[in-house]
């Protein structure tokens, strides 16, 4: 039997937490480690943050946080 856990992430809260940690660039792998999620989930989170205008995609797996 397969068990799934669904979580929700407040993208804005995550953005401000990353800024608080002094991270202005983040890779999919780094976010996956930080949140203890799969790289696939981390990629989805960063893609959604990109859609919201919180980050900009800089490379294949690298994103930069937008400064407000």
> Do the bridges between strand 62-65 and strand 25-27 make them parallel or antiparallel, or are there none, so unpaired?
antiparallel
pLDDT digits (tens, 9 = 90+) for 1-41: 778 888 899 999 999 999 999 999 999 999 999 999 999 99
Domain 11-65 has CATH 1.10.3470: no
For position 7, what pLDDT does the model report?
84
Distance CA 1, CA 53 (A): 39
For position 67, what pLDDT does the model report?
86
3-state SS, one letter per residue, for 31-53: HHHHHCCCHHHHHHHHHHHHHCC
Domains of the chain by residue range:
11-65
For position 31, what pLDDT does the model report?
97
For position 2, what pLDDT does the model report?
79
Q: Which residues does residue 42 pair with via DSSP β-bridges, in sequence order? A: none
């Amino acid at each position: 039997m397969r068990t799934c856990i669904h979580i929700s992430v407040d993208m804005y809260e995550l953005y401000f937490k990353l800024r608080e940690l002094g991270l202005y660039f983040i890779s999919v792998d780094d976010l996956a480690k930080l949140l203890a999620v799969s790289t696939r989930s981390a990629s989805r989170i960063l893609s959604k943050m990109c859609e919201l205008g919180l980050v900009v995609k800089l490379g294949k797996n690298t994103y930069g946080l937008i400064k407000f």
